[in-house]
Amino acid sequence: MCLLESVLSWNRESIVCRATSHRDPGNPLRSTGRLPALAAIEYAAQAMAVHHGLAGGRGRPRLGYLARLRDVAFRIDRLDDLRSDLTVTANQLAVTSASSIYRFRVAAEDRELVVGQALVVLPIESGR
């Protein structure tokens, strides 16, 4: 499932992506015909995964787990009724070989919709 449409910009510390899939009636995260704001967490997690692959991933992609969310604020109840594209930003605050911490923001036309912080854990691969 790929919810992001494109990468608008990125560097070693951050990524900005665009999404239009929140308007798609076939979006797999819809429930009872609606796309709750909680789905913004998945949009942010996908942006973090793309960032890891572009900025720090070496070799084949590694499976990561969203281990913790902090300071999440929802400023909207649902995403599917937004006409504007979503802008998904993830800023890497800290990184080790086993984890990354990101601050994320999902917005539409400069209107902040969902913000928070996430810890992504990258398990040690067997055979290393």
Average pLDDT over residues 32-39: 96
The confidence score (pLDDT) of residue 47 equals 97
Whether 32 is in a domain gets the answer: yes
How many domains does one find in the chain?
A: 1
Whether 53 is in a domain gets the answer: yes
Average pLDDT over residues 93-102: 92
Predicted model pTM: 0.92
Whether 90 is in a domain gets the answer: yes
Whether 83 is in a domain gets the answer: yes
CATH number of the structural domain spanning residue 100: 3.10.129.10
Q: Which residue has the higher pLDDT, 57 or 96?
A: 96
Q: Which domain holds residue 14?
A: 6-121
Whether 127 is in a domain gets the answer: no
Q: How far is it, in rounded angstroms, from Cα 98 to Cα 4?
A: 25
pLDDT more than 90, % of the chain: 81
Q: How far is it, in rounded angstroms, from Cα 102 to Cα 93?
A: 5
Whether 126 is in a domain gets the answer: no
